[in-house]
Amino acid sequence: MITAGSSHDQVVVLGTAAAFGHYCSSSINSTSVGASDLVPDGYLWQFSSPDTSSPTLLLGQNERGTLYGAFAYILELAQGNDPIKSASNTTTIASGATRHVSNPAAPVWWVNQWDNLDGSIERGYGGRSLFFAGGKVVADLRRAAAYARILASVGINAVVVNNVNADAALVHTPANIEGLGRIADAFRPFGVRIGVSLNFAAPQSVGGLQTYDPLDASVVAFWDDVTAQLYKRIPDLAGFLVKGDSEGQPGPRKYGRSLAAGANLFARALRKHSSAAADSPGILMYRAFVYDQLQESNWKADRANAAVSYFAPLDGQFDDNVVVQVKYGPIDFQVREPASPLFGHLQKTNAAIELQVTQEYLGQQCHLVYLPPLWRTVLDFDMGKTSGKASLVRDIVTGTHFSRPLGGSAGVVNAGTSDTWLGSHMSQANLYAYGRMAWDPSGGDDDNDAATPRHIIEAWTRLTFGGSPAVVDTIADMALASWPAYENYTGNLGMQTLTDILYTHFGPNPASQDGNGWGQWTRADKNGMGMDRTVRNGTGFAGQYVGAEVAARFESVDTTPQDLLLWFHHVPYTQPLPGPRPGENTTVIQHIYDAHYAGAETAASFVTRWAALNARNALNVDAERYASIARKLAFQAGHALVWRDAVCAFFDGLSGIADRHGRVGHHPWRIEAEAMTLHGYTRQAVSPAIAASGGQAIVATGRGQASASAPIPPSIPPGVYTLAVNYFDLAGGRASYEAQISGKTVGNWTGSAEDVFGKATSTHLDGHSAMRVSFAGVVVAAGDTVTVLGTPDGAEQAPLDYVSFLPDGVVD
């Protein structure tokens, strides 16, 4: 128990409720401080009435709760708030004191890391693993311990340290088990327990057995032994995470065993090791992300149906320490998905929601995309009436709705060695929000609740950049506009993120969705698009919602929300839609064009909003972070245009229906590189062609400096412009460039995204490597020429797409 000064009472007493009851006067015993209101890991703050001199109490139900209570208190002070005023749900007790009780909504609020033993992180955009390198646990775990502190400060209670696509070797050698033990030791002071992902086939692949059949006695013994070794070294092990029978991973179905039999195998091994140190039995998180490759020619085939068809019939067959971990949507972390209908079917099974903090399909930390508004659409989703009342996903996953003992959430975070942990300063807001929302998924039903996405981003901003109202407003406004903007310039109307699903899930490639077995289909053809998921005529997915009224709503085009239209229905491009303003009408194809233009404009506005902060000198952001965020926002604005143009060109080409406003394919301010006079450059096709303006780029033919130049045409009259240059930045090279107007340098840059992004860029000229650099205030006089000089480096042949002279206010 420690004491410290506070603005309110001068003395703060910090400890567990039990210790407080034991050591302090009986007049303030643990009962009177309300310990009975606390659940494990919960805490309370108690402020004495102003006319007494009693200290402020910060008491946890256990030590972890004490830590969370202290962090929460400090986070209020750090925002300049008086905790007593900012505390929600306060009650006044008999002594006149004010009490605020905060309990986690569910027992599981975990983080998953997809770290590999070689030090890489699957879908990680923030550098290398904090835990592993060269096949083993790193010697220096100081940074891992700092990560533990971050996780505790946002209220996380466990971290699964290795990839769901698990390497069987991790739990096989004594050295690795000792290494895991050292990771657990580094996390323990912060109350964060560790869990481990297991590979189902380990008994065979590393254990020397003939089988990995979950019902085979030797397999049971193998896992019992692994579990015992882990508990010996890590007595407070949080549990295991298993991905079976999915995307090539081994699982119980190979032996005709059910997924429940597979899950229970590990759950039973864990159950043998409940110990005081663990303070709850080890939990087996079993992923519902199970699906098979499908035939697209089958109109009724649908990957989205997989989770319910595999897991719903097993409801009630999972042991009590199994939690089925369900991705928020039925496909895969897309920009918009309806909530997974599986949540409504797990009525006798513990369930947790899986969210992705790492922005795999959502800009990979190179785009500002603040995720809580997306998460809210799922947490607040009502599965329809079950047990006579509304079934909100947030109540199902906390276990309250179906009275389940376990439940909660898992967030795939993938922090790494980057200075910013996740790869960008702004993406930390998503981790902070994840912690807040995992602790309290209720989210607030009105604007005053401290758990709304706006309040969370405002709190994060104050904690990160200080309390300048201009900074708080700017960041909050940008953050709240960011997910809708990203949805607009990637895939609107519920068509999913139209990225390259066969490669790195970053840039645009709408054609890659269809024509393969992965099942992320849009079924776009020359007449229309969208997955028909109706029961009447389609895949039947709409009928998977347990609430008949929900199923009926999605069954009809007229009652399906517009932002999920193409998720549930296959419609012609000419399908009429209500327009953005009352009385206005539009069509699906025009909505696609308009949304992509609007999204790119919003992204462009982030750059100016951020710059305006600097101009007003209202900035509480140090120069380094200011510049780093400015760089990312500028990249995003450029890449949003790549997205806009690629998706619009794709649908323009496919549908043959022109943009009503004449924008698509018409770029009066551009000069295509392939149309310039080239020296040492040659034209090259880009794949997909829509990722390049005009379908082509130029690349240097040799190793020396190459040049592309053109007279500036009369359609670009003399004046002052922002010169934008679109080029491609490939992995494995840092080409250098210079832009000149009539021989005078107006800008230079290097293709060094690999140093700036914290993630690998693409090795091809495509939608992932396409990007833009801009130079403001470029003066053009009559008869001027524009030249770009490019010097190759490594694998990068100084590729160029086009230059654009943009008058003020034009986004193109």
Sign of CA dihedral 163, 165, 171, 176: negative
Please identify, using beta-carbon distances, which residue of 159 and 164 lies nearer to ligand GCU: 164
Please identify, using beta-carbon distances, which residue of 360 and 555 lies nearer to ligand GCU: 360
Distance (Å, whole) CA 651 – CA 663: 13
Q: How many CB atoms lie within 10 A of CB 785?
A: 14
Please identify, using beta-carbon distances, which residue of 243 and 596 lies nearer to ligand GCU: 243
Q: Which residue has the tokens 């406003």?
A: 661
Residue 718 CB, shortest distance to ligand GCU, in Å, is 50
Distance (Å, whole) CA 799 – CA 469: 42
Element (H, E) at 653: helix 623-655
**How big is the site for ligand GCU, counted in residues (CB under 6 A)?**
9
Element (H, E) at 683: strand 681-685
Parallel, antiparallel, or unpaired: how do β-strands 56-60 and 43-47 relate?
antiparallel
Q: Is 332 an interacting residue with respect to ligand GCU (CB under 6 A)?
A: yes
Residue 122 CB, shortest distance to ligand GCU, in Å, is 5
Query: Contacts with ligand GCU in 63-122 (CB under 6 A)?
Result: 122
Nearest to 635 by CA among 420, 365, 356, 414: 365
Query: Contacts with ligand GCU in 353-382 (CB under 6 A)?
Result: 360
Please identify, using beta-carbon distances, which residue of 289 and 567 lies nearer to ligand GCU: 289
Element (H, E) at 400: none
Contact 5, 30 (CB under 8 A): no
Question: CA 447, 448, 451, 454: dihedral to nearest 10 degrees?
Answer: 50
**Secondary structure of 103-124 in the HEC alphabet?**
CCCCCEEEEECCECCCCCECCC
Q: 741 vs 417, 746, 781, 809, CA distance in Å? A: 41, 7, 9, 22
Please identify, using beta-carbon distances, which residue of 334 and 726 lies nearer to ligand GCU: 334
Please identify, using beta-carbon distances, which residue of 71 and 131 lies nearer to ligand GCU: 131
Contact 354, 326 (CB under 8 A): yes
Residue 360 CB, shortest distance to ligand GCU, in Å, is 6
Say which amino acid occupies 176: N
Residue 507 CB, shortest distance to ligand GCU, in Å, is 15
Distance (Å, whole) CA 410 – CA 795: 39
Q: Which residue has the tokens 């000149």?
A: 740
Residue 53 CB, shortest distance to ligand GCU, in Å, is 55
Q: Where are the beta strands (DSSP E) in 368-500?
A: 382-386, 389-392, 407-412
**Secondary structure of 291-322 in the HEC alphabet?**
CCCCCCCCCCCCHHHHHHHHHHHHCCCCCCCE
Distance (Å, whole) CA 506 – CA 503: 8
Please identify, using beta-carbon distances, which residue of 360 and 382 lies nearer to ligand GCU: 360
Q: Which residues pair with 241 in a beta bridge?
A: 197, 285
Residues whose CB is less than 8 angstroms from the CB of residue 388 and which lie 6 or more positions away in sequence, other chains included: none
Distance (Å, whole) CA 542 – CA 554: 6
Residue 411 CB, shortest distance to ligand GCU, in Å, is 12
Helix (H, G, I), strand (E, B) or coil at 152: helix
Residue 743 CB, shortest distance to ligand GCU, in Å, is 48
Query: Contacts with ligand GCU in 164-193 (CB under 6 A)?
Result: 164-165
Element (H, E) at 744: strand 744-750
Q: Is 128 an interacting residue with respect to ligand GCU (CB under 6 A)?
A: no
Residue 329 CB, shortest distance to ligand GCU, in Å, is 12
Please identify, using beta-carbon distances, which residue of 123 and 345 lies nearer to ligand GCU: 123
Residue 565 CB, shortest distance to ligand GCU, in Å, is 24
Catalytic residue among 9, 337, 360, 793: 360
Residue 297 CB, shortest distance to ligand GCU, in Å, is 23
Residue 199 CB, shortest distance to ligand GCU, in Å, is 13
**Secondary structure of 176-195 in the HEC alphabet?**
HHHHHHHHHHHHHHHCCEEE
> φ, ψ for residue 538 (rounded to 5)?
-125, -140
Catalytic residue among 224, 247, 380, 601: 247
Contact 119, 129 (CB under 8 A): yes
Residue 555 CB, shortest distance to ligand GCU, in Å, is 28
Contact 728, 801 (CB under 8 A): yes
Please identify, using beta-carbon distances, which residue of 414 and 464 lies nearer to ligand GCU: 414
Please identify, using beta-carbon distances, which residue of 56 and 520 lies nearer to ligand GCU: 520
Please identify, using beta-carbon distances, which residue of 522 and 628 lies nearer to ligand GCU: 522
Catalytic residue among 76, 332, 555, 801: 332
Q: Is 160 an interacting residue with respect to ligand GCU (CB under 6 A)?
A: no
Residue 293 CB, shortest distance to ligand GCU, in Å, is 13
Distance (Å, whole) CA 507 – CA 774: 20
Site string for ligand GCU, 195-234 (x = CB under 6 A): ----------------------------------------
Please identify, using beta-carbon distances, which residue of 254 and 454 lies nearer to ligand GCU: 254
Q: Is 303 an interacting residue with respect to ligand GCU (CB under 6 A)?
A: no
Greatest Cα pair distance, the chain, in angstroms, is 91
Q: How many CB atoms lie within 10 A of CB 91?
A: 11
Return the residue of 123, 401, 533, 670 that touches ligand GCU, per CB under 6 A. Answer: 123
Distance (Å, whole) CA 778 – CA 78: 44
Q: Is 289 an interacting residue with respect to ligand GCU (CB under 6 A)?
A: yes
Peptide linkage before 250 cis (omega within 30 of 0)? no
Q: Which residue has the tokens 């595999």?
A: 310
Is 140 a catalytic site residue? no
Q: Which tokens is 212 given?
A: 């990995």
Return the residue of 8, 99, 243, 303 that touches ligand GCU, per CB under 6 A. Answer: 243
Residue 24 burial class via C-beta count within 10 angstroms: exposed 0-12, middle 13-18, buried 19 and up: middle
Site string for ligand GCU, 588-607 (x = CB under 6 A): --------------------
Is 247 a catalytic site residue? yes
Contact 455, 372 (CB under 8 A): no
Please identify, using beta-carbon distances, which residue of 123 and 394 lies nearer to ligand GCU: 123
Nearest to 264 by CA among 326, 350, 360, 196: 350
Q: Give, to the nearest 10 degrees, the angle between helix 63-78 and helix 453-465.
A: 80
Which residues are identified as catalytic?
A: 247, 332, 360
The residues that touch ligand GCU, with contacts defined as CB under 6 A, are: 122-123, 164-165, 243, 247, 289, 332, 360
